[in-house]
Chain A
Amino acid sequence: MKFENIDEYRQCRVVSNIMISNTTAVLTIKRPFTFKAGQCINISVNKSIPPRIYSISSAEKNEYVEILYKIVKTGKLTPLLKELNENSLIAVSKPFGKFFASPLPAWLISSGTGIAPFLSMILSGYGENKVLIHGNGNLSDFYYSSMLENKLGNNYIRCYTGSEKCDFIRGRVMNYLDSLENIPIDNMYYLCGSAEMVVEIRDFLINKGVSFQNTLAEIYF
């Protein structure tokens, strides 16, 4: 699977590439297209590396497009992404995907960089009636916490599985959900993260009476 359909990609210059935690960076380019919050783009650095899909984490109207990426030391692409500097060229696809925000009440549930599409939704003005639940093992991976606290207040819930002291919910997202007395079964549930996390939480919600038709999942692969 090489760098296919090159005509559909455009060359974009990196505006910035900044580490925002020990393992995660945010890559910024000037926005070359319009997109809807929740959509993805394919990114690659050269023709020999297959492109990878990343959710856009920035707002629809923002002048810049941002993606969050976790640096996987054994990966093919992210170690190269990490080395990019201002003005480096990358290839970016058109935005695609249908993991769109809804104006209806919804819970947005994520782990790690799976928060990216939800950041885009909230920054784009779809935060009303939303509960955002984010699970992490490192405190530094609760990206954009201050902004999310301001926008969502008590509807921003952090589930922390690490051992450092903090005021967040302790334990996995799954344990937090299980501790709740009521799961609103008519809400929409957006899930984004690893397959394992998404499948486990979707099964849990269905078991609690949520129709599978009220769940929408985005899985990283």
Chain B
Amino acid sequence: MILVGMTLDEITEATKSFDLPRYVAREIALWIYRRGITNFNEMTNISLKTRQIIAENFELGLTPHSKEAVSSDGTKKYLFPAHTDKYIETAYIPDKNRKTLCISTQVGCKMGCLFCMTAKQGFQGQLTSGEILNQIISLPEKDLLTNLVYMGMGEPFDNTVEVLKSLSILTADYGMAISHKKITVSTIGIIPGMRSFIEKTQCQLAISLHSPFDDERVKLMPIENIYPIKEVVQVLKDYAIEKQRRISFEYILFKGINDSQLHINELARLLNGLRCRINLMRFHPIPGTSLAGTDEESLQEFRNKLDRKGIITTIRASRGMDIMAACGLLSTKELQENKT
């Protein structure tokens, strides 16, 4: 039985049948999640006999990364093996005192967004909560981390149960005890999963917006057919979620497509009444795309105009450009190399 990814209740249940002392489950959780052991023998406040029972019946379930790419700006991309012959990407992004880890929730993705490299891999499997947490626990820089973002491969709310479980462990006092404020989950707006997330966690939420016009957004993001952005925003307003935590909207600027004054006006209309911010992103080109990023001057102008509309707008710095910054590029390359 694999321990990483189990909640305290699950560890308690799993250890019951071995007649272990009641305190052992909590100690195991603390050793795994808080102290980051790689071997059961490191659990020195548990008796040798108990450790032997644990070692005979459980495994930690940690998997080291198989490859890494290091950018000149300090960003590191790690590939972790997941399922057979597949990989997930995890990006470590240091920036002064802030050390952010961008983690994946699925192998590949089903959502088919036009601008996304991960979409081109198709969907290859769900990650368990253990595989999600492994990206943190097995990270060489794990002790330096200040922020976690669920913005890597996959759509978190297409794997809601495992994502919520991982969040629960990350924020629990028996787990990693990370503040809710330091964890952001990014979604394209799958409403049922988003509702569960709002109701069951206090973590921060980011929504991939990319166009306020439904007939345009649907061409970029097929999910608009099912969960229109207007309904997504209405759900956020109904929950009044912004009073408890920060909401941000991610907006990649595509030249000549979603960067006009009309878009600024419609964004202001769509987000009216919701305390939030827009995070503008530069497009990281992917092979074979007909899309191009908005030029730097227009990007700044777009930001200024949104600011003047009263919407707090930031521009996300592009990182790791020399190590295939777009999410999914590195793992796709690895997949292709393995096939040949």
Binding site for B on A (CB under 8 A): 1-2, 4, 40, 50-51, 53, 96-99, 194-196, 198-200, 202-203, 206-207, 211-213, 215-221
Interchain CA distance A89-B295 in the complex, whole Å = 56
The answer to whether B111 touches A219, judged by C-beta atoms less than 8 angstroms apart, is yes
Contacts of B119 in A (CB 8 A): 195, 199
Q: Tell me if A1 and B111 are in contact (CB < 8 A).
A: no
CB <8 Å contact, B110 and A219: yes
Binding site for A on B (CB under 8 A): 108-112, 114, 119-123, 155, 158, 160-161, 192-193, 195-196, 214, 216, 218-220, 222-226, 228, 288, 290-291
The interface residues of chain A lying within 8 Å CB-to-CB of B216 are 213
What B residues does A50 contact at CB under 8 A? 192
Instruction: Give bound CA distance, A98 to B229, whole Å.
Output: 12
Sorted from nearest, which 3 A-B pairs have the closest CB atoms? A196-B122, A221-B110, A217-B222
Which residues does chain A contribute within 8 Å of B218, judged by CB atoms? 98, 216
Contact B225 A98 (CB under 8 A): yes
A206 to B289, CA, bound (A): 8
A198–B226 Cα distance when bound, in Å, is 16
| Residues of chain B contacted by A1 (CB below 8 angstroms) | 160-161, 192-193, 196
Complex: A117 Cα to B62 Cα, angstroms = 43
A97 to B224, CA, bound (A): 8
How far, in Å, is A6 (CB) from chain B's closest CB?
12
Docked-complex contact A219 and B290, CB < 8 angstroms: no
Contact at A194–B114, with CB atoms within 8 Å? no
Give the contacting residue for A199; candidates B122, B158, B225; CB below 8 A: B122
Supposing A213-B219, A219-B112, A221-B158 touch, asked if A53 and B122 sit within 8 A by C-beta, the answer is no
**Contacting residues, chain A, for B123 (C-beta < 8 A):** 194-196, 221
Known: A203-B120, A206-B290. A221 touches B219 (CB 8 A): no
Question: Does B226 lie within 8 Å of A53, measured CB to CB?
Answer: yes
A25 to B112, CA, bound (A): 26
Most A C-beta atoms less than 10 A away, residue of B119, B161, B222: B222
| Selected contact of B228 from candidates A98, A207, A220, CB within 8 Å | A98
Rounded to whole angstroms, the CA-CA distance of A39 and B193 in the bound complex is 21
Please tell me if the beta carbons of B110 and A203 are within 8 angstroms of each other in the complex.
no
Greatest chain A CB density within 10 A among B223, B226, B290 is at B226
Considering only CB atoms, which chain A residue lies closest to B196 in the complex?
Answer: A1
Assembled-state Cα–Cα distance A202/B119 (Å):
11
Q: Known interface pairs A1-B192, A1-B196, A216-B219. Does A207 touch B288 (Cβ–Cβ under 8 Å)? A: yes
Give CA–CA (A199, B196) in the complex, Å: 29
Residue numbers in A under 8 Å from B291 (CB-CB): 212
